[in-house]
Every structure is written in structure tokens, then in C-alpha cells.
Amino acid sequence: MKTTTQATLTITQATVADAAEIHALQQLAYQSEAEVQQNHAIPPLLETLDDVEAAFGHGVVFKILVDSRIIASARTSIQDGTCHVSRVIVHPSVQNRGVGTRLMRAVEARFPDVRRFELFTSQKSRRNLHFYAKLGYEAYKTVVDGGRRTLVYLEKRLDRPV
């Protein structure tokens, strides 16, 4: 994917019509995670298009567009006052250029009444852990999942007036 530094990024809510493009981007973006895990059977790579379409019924799905192409996406759902963020994906060709940061800031801004955000990543994903730490997320627990991966759960608490 060719982008320029002058390209305009548009951050908006995705619709189910975007599911196929988001699914394809997810398959591409999670390849690096699969390499870190030395396992290509990780949940994001096993998801079907139907699974991605179903996610639209559980919360808000964000997308970032450049020239009408989706280059980043994230899913959110609100439960008990916490915004759960998942499937944060950025096209490999634009990683480390602030796209993920802009996406996460847009997610946080979209929910002004939420005081806590939560997400998780693999303990082996040093790059992800560093990225989220820069955004103010702190680890609060680890869990070994069914695939024997150690997942680190991170949270960001915001001091907002209620």
C-alpha cells in the first residue's frame, strides 16, 4: 500500500459493509503477531468473515481511511462502565507512523463518559506492550489462555468528571 505523508486520514465508525475489507486487513496485520507467537492459529487469524460481521452487533468498530482504503481498525464494546478495545490493527506499511496512536485517541474520545479502557495482548508482544504503555495503559493482570499463550491485560483509567 502506497501512502504519502500528505495523505488525509479519516477516522470514522465502520459499518458491516466494511467487514470484508477489515477482515482482509486483520489477516494481513496479524501475521507479525503470529510470527512472534510462532503460531499461525491465533484467534484473530482464525476468525471468519462471519465472525467479523458479528462484531458489529456488539459495539462500535472504528476505521481509518486513506484514499477510501481502510488502513486501520479497532473494535470496542462497553460493559459495566469499561470500554473493552480489541482487534487493534494497522496496515503494516503504515505502522510506526502515528496511525495506531490516532486510532486509540479517537476510540478514547468517542466515549467521554467512560472512565476505564481495557485491552489485552500477548506477553511476547513487546512492541504492542511498549505502544500501549506510551498511551498510558498499565498492566494489571496476566492470564494463560487455552492456547497456552500468556495474555497481559492492560487498563487506562481516566480522571473525568462524572
pLDDT tens figures, 80-97: 999 999 999 999 999 999
What pLDDT, in 10s, does the model give residues 38-67?
888 899 999 999 999 999 999 999 999 999
Q: Give residue 22's pLDDT.
A: 98
Contact between 6 and 69 under an 8 Å Cβ cutoff? The reply is: no
Q: φ, ψ for residue 148 (rounded to 5)?
A: 65, 20
- Rounded Cα distance between 132 and 108, Å, is 13
Beta carbons of 74 and 105 less than 8 angstroms apart: no
CATH topology assigned to domain 10-114? Aminopeptidase (3.40.630)
Report the pLDDT value the prediction gives residue 7, as an integer from 0 to 100: 73
CB atoms within 10 A of CB 17: 9
Report the chain's mean pLDDT, rounded to a whole number.
92
- pLDDT at residue 121, as a whole number: 95
Per-residue pLDDT, 37: 86
The reported pLDDT for the residue numbered 6 is 56
| pLDDT number for residue 145 | 81
Spatial separation of the C-alpha atoms in residues 38 and 32, rounded to whole Å: 10
Give the pTM. 0.90
From residue 6, alpha-carbon distances to 58, 67, 84, 101, 129 in Å are: 34, 11, 32, 17, 29
> So what's the pLDDT on residue 143?
93
Query: Which stretches of the chain score pLDDT less than 50?
Result: 1-5
